[in-house]
Structure formats: structure tokens, C-alpha cells
Amino acid sequence: MTDALFLTSEDVEGLATPSEYVDAVREGYRQRGNGAPAQPRSKFFRSSPGGMFTSYAAILPETGAMGGYMYSAGFGAGDAWFVTPLFDADSGEPLALLDGASMNPFKTGAAGAVAVDELAREDAETLAVIGSGPQARGQLHTTATVREFTEVRVYSPTPDNRESFAADFADRFEATVEAVDSSEAAVAGADVVITATSASEPVFDGDVLDPGTHVTAMGQYSPDRCELDATTIERATYVPDLRERATFDAGSFLAALEEGVVTEEHVHAELGEVVAGERPGRTNADEITVFDSGGTGIETAAAAHMLYENAREEGLGSETAFAPASEALTGERPHD
């Protein structure tokens, strides 16, 4: 038998700072850039009751960990559950099982922050956030650790939501945080734009982007839904989290392909290739860059391992036992 650590959502909440998430995820993507295995998510759908079951994973050899997400969304309960198994990449033994809901906005936000650090201008000061839910909040918490923003503009189609978002962050940041009444008002003149929405159509006109803007799009990972229009993709140096995702479920890129404004060669690099120095990131101040984030096992395994190490140091969690196959696969029939 092997003991593994079980961490509840309450254990995970507050267990790491946004900077710790960013550092762990940056290291994960560096390993991916050097060849660490990872693949796009697998999605399974059911129509009655309607729901989606999703999984993805990665191996981070230098961290010594492997794992990912399995989660359900919808179905009869109309809710979502995130389960994160973490294994030792050397022995193969289970290390931990995490309730992954609490870490979700921060590990995803950390991937966006790593992209901003690699692709945005060093002097970026103005940030536009389109969306006001937990994912948008996670993106802001983490992205604020890699650039010193002086102005943050948030737009959500629901006035109460954007006003609440702005009020919450105005008390936490030295930057001016304000709600605006259109996506154009948020994006115009912004140095960095983050889209974190459930929209199925583009949320701003790509012609509004100033030269030198960086865009992180993380709200959609479906081939028939997109947050960015073809103009944005065409104008930008395009970097997905995984190259394979661009033609698998990156709806904005697929729409631009269909319109004929780009080819598959428009994919500049994976984020990991940029982090590892295998491919250049931004090359000049006027370049528009896009990071298309669909969620991968890279940030999930990296964040989960960091949380596991923090929990061990703080004495959090409870132990649960796993039987290896050599013990469990006895071949005996269960008793009636």
C-alpha cells in the first residue's frame, strides 16, 4: 500500500500566492518547451442529461510529477467537479489527490501571466479585462505579478458584475481599476487585453487593437466558439498553449483559417517553446501578440505539485491509501 495526500478545496484555498502559481507554471512550460509530454483535452458529451466530461494530463520530468484534471460539468446536478490526481513521475506512485476547484482560476491565470511576461511589452501599464467571473479574477491576480499596471479597465455586459469586480480590486491594487460600459472602451489604447468570457462570438473588433498590444484569450476551447475575431488572429503573432490545439479546439484560430486570412503556418510557437528560449517571443514594440489558452495538464500538474509541497510543509490534508496493482489484481472473484 502507498499513502497519498488528499487535499480538500478548503485545504487548497489560500495555500499559495499568485506569484507561487506563476513561478510553478512558468517552470512547467519551460519543461514542455524542452519536450515534456502533454496533449490537448479530451471532451465527452452527453445530451440527456446534458453535460461534458473532460480530462487532460502532462508529465513534468524535472519536477518529478505527472497529473492533470478530470472534471464534469452540467449533467443532472447542473454543477461542476474538478479532480486532480498527482503522481510521482519517477516511481509512478500516487502522491496526492486534490479537489481542484479552488486552484482552477489561479493555475489558469498563471498560464496567462507567464504569456504576458513573455509576450507583452516590458512597459505595459494599461490592462483591459473582458469578463468578471472567477477566471477573470484569477487572471488579474496573477497577471498583476508580472507587470506594474497603473490602469485596469473591466467590461462585462452585466453592469453590477463589472462594478463589483472593479470595486473589489480597487481596494487591493495601487492601480486605478474602473468599470467601463463597452469592450471597445476597455480595449482601446490598452497594452494588455485579457478575455475570460463564455461568449460564443468575438468580444471586440480586432481593428481596435493598437500596435504593440498583447492579448490573452482563455474563455473558449471549442471549435465552434471564439472570443477573438479573424482580424485579431491575422494581425497577431499567434502563440497557443499547445500547438496541436490550434487546429483541434481553438475556435478563434479555426475561424480565421476558415475565412482564409491565415494558414496553419501562422502558429508562431507554443508557449513552452518561448519560455524555454527555443522560439522568440515579442521581437518589436509594435508587434501584436496573442496567447490562446485552452487549459492543459502542464499548468495543472505544475500547480498541483506546488500545492502538494506547500501542504506537506504546513501539515495540511489527510492521508489515503492506494493499493498497487501487484496487490490488488489478485484475480480472485469477489465474495457473494
DSSP per residue, 138-194:
HHHHHHTTTS--SEEEEE-SSHHHHHHHHHHHHTT-SSEEEE-SSHHHHHTT-SEEE
* pLDDT for position 174: 86
Q: What are phi and psi of 151, to 5 degrees?
A: -145, 130
Dist. CA 136–CA 179, nearest whole Å: 13
Query: What distance in Å separates the CA atoms of residue 75 and residue 137, rounded to the nearest whole number?
Result: 26
* pLDDT for residue 220: 80
- pLDDT for position 335: 58
Distance CA 206, CA 148 (A): 25
pTM beyond cutoff 0.75 = yes
CA angle centred on 281, ends 216 and 56, rounded to 5°:
55
Domains and CATH numbers, the chain: 2-104+297-328 (3.30.1780.10), 106-292 (3.40.50.720)
Structure confidence at residue 155 (pLDDT): 97
Apex 85 CA angle, 80 and 86, nearest 5: 145
- Spatial contact of 155 and 129, defined as CB atoms under 8 Å apart: yes
Question: Which residue, among 84, 78, 124, has the nearest Cα to 100 in the 3D structure?
Answer: 84
45's torsion region: left (phi>0), alpha (psi -120 to 50) or beta? beta
Contact 214, 125 (CB under 8 A): no
Q: How far, in Å, CA of 13 to CA of 100, rounded?
A: 10
Q: What are phi and psi of 54, to 5 degrees?
A: -130, 145
Give the pLDDT score at 222.
80
Phi, psi (deg, nearest 5) at residue 326:
-65, -25
> How large is the angle between the packed helices 159-170 and 134-143, nearest 10 degrees?
30
Let me know how long the chain is: 336
pLDDT score of 18: 97
pLDDT by residue for the chain (336 residues), tens only, comes to 899 999 999 999 999 999 999 999 999 999 999 999 999 999 999 999 999 999 999 999 999 999 999 999 999 998 999 999 999 999 999 999 999 999 999 999 999 999 999 999 999 999 999 999 999 999 999 999 999 999 999 999 999 999 999 999 998 888 999 999 999 999 999 999 999 998 889 999 999 999 999 999 998 878 888 999 999 999 999 999 999 999 999 999 999 999 999 999 999 999 999 999 999 999 999 999 999 999 999 999 999 999 999 999 999 999 999 999 988 887 665 555
Q: What are the residue ranges of helices labelled H in the chain?
A: 9-12, 18-33, 104-119, 134-143, 159-170, 183-187, 230-235, 251-259, 271-275, 297-314, 325-328
